[in-house]
Amino acid sequence: MGTDDEGKGFVSKIVAKVRQKAAVMGASALVAYLLIDIVVYAFALTAAREAFLRSTGKEPWADIRGFLLVVGGIWAGNNATRPLRLAGAAALSPVTGKAMQFIEDHLPAKIRQASLPGGATFATPLAAGVLLAGWGIFVVSVLGAYLIFLK
């Protein structure tokens, strides 16, 4: 019983934090920030893996210390670049908002009119999910092409 309550408390805290950020930044800025994060993490993980593999001859996940070193380095780099990513998200917010609106406009009227608690329509998170998934597939495809064809 205690673990279920703790799990709900943790999830509730995460949901509250996301709602707070979305309220301050706006949905399009939050999605823009996540779009930038997808690129940063994808390239950072790929570059870190390549560097570790070339320097040690082993995959980072085959060596727990190496894996922790790689993840720690990415975490530190990610914290150092946060202001740049926030600025990028602010700059991309108008374009992201237009892309989300384009996707929302092509959703069925029933979905556009359905509202969620807090006043947002169901179409907004759905459009954000479609945009993030499409961008993620594109970034992974580019990295996959690099790893397969350009090596």
Q: What is the pLDDT of residues 53-77, one digit of tens each?
A: 888 888 888 888 888 888 888 888 8
Please give the pLDDT value at position 3. 47
pTM: 0.71
Residue 43 has pLDDT above 70, yes or no: yes
Residue 5 has pLDDT above 60, yes or no: no
Residue 7 has pLDDT above 70, yes or no: no
Phi, psi of 121 (to 5 degrees): -85, 155
| Per-residue tokens: 146 | 């690099």
Please write the tens of the pLDDT for every residue from 102-132. 999 999 998 888 888 877 788 888 999 999 9
